[in-house]
Amino acid sequence: MMKAAVCGVAVLVLGIVIVAEAKVFDRCEFAAELQRLGARDDMLADWVCLAEKQSNYTTSASMVTVWTGTHGIFGISDAFWCDRSASIRRRIRNYNAPNICKVSCEDLVDDDIADDFACANKIFNAHGFHAWNPWAVKCWQFDVAVYLDDCIEDKLIKPLTFTDDEDDDLPPGGVN
């Protein structure tokens, strides 16, 4: 009881978790959508694992605190990548995040994940998958191929044209 009360206060002070009017992708459906958006075969399983650990494939997933927050299916941070200045400026004077993806954070929580994926690729190009803590903790050094096995078997995604052996030769993040 005490614990619950303390926890409730912490949530109130530090932030709110918003999960509303979501499109929740099925795992294989999400993988197919990423293929459509041009994801590389040798990175697909890592993207899928990341989205599962970050948001459970929920497009509206958000973790927003007073100072900063993450937005959408890939949990993109407004500290650098998307613009939440309008709402933040009301609380913090002269707040100005770089908004590297040149996108409004609000656009990252709708059902269209094309802009999310474009921004996620920018993050990947800058930092690799290690930019995402859930990936580092729950996907890196795990056999992420299992996230796609049934999708391939059931022909829910296009066949992948690389082998796991090649994957093993890649450094973390799948960068050549």
Give min distance, CB of 57 to ligand NAG, in A: 9
Cβ of residue 121: shortest distance to ligand NAG, in angstroms?
21
Tell me the window of 10-18, 32-40, 53-61, 149-157 that interacts with ligand NAG (CB under 6 A).
Answer: 53-61
How distant is the alpha carbon of residue 68 from its chain centre?
16
- Considering the complex, state which of residue 60 and residue 121 has its C-beta at the smaller distance from ligand NAG: 60
The least CB distance from residue 142 to ligand NAG, in Å, is 15
For ligand NAG, which residue has the nearest CB? 56
Distances from the Cα of 40 to the Cα of 43, 46, 170, angstroms = 5, 10, 13
Query: ∠ at Cα 56 (5, 24), nearest 5°?
Result: 110
- Member of 35, 56, 85, 99 binding ligand NAG (CB under 6 A): 56
Applying CB under 6 A, the span of 47-55, 66-74, 111-119, 163-171 interacting with ligand NAG comes to 47-55
Alpha helices in 37-169 (DSSP H): 41-55, 85-89, 114-127, 133-138, 146-153, 164-169
CA 1/CA 15 separation, integer angstroms: 21
The Cα–Cα gap between 45 and 74 comes to 14
Which residues of this protein are in contact with ligand NAG, per CB under 6 A?
A: 53-56
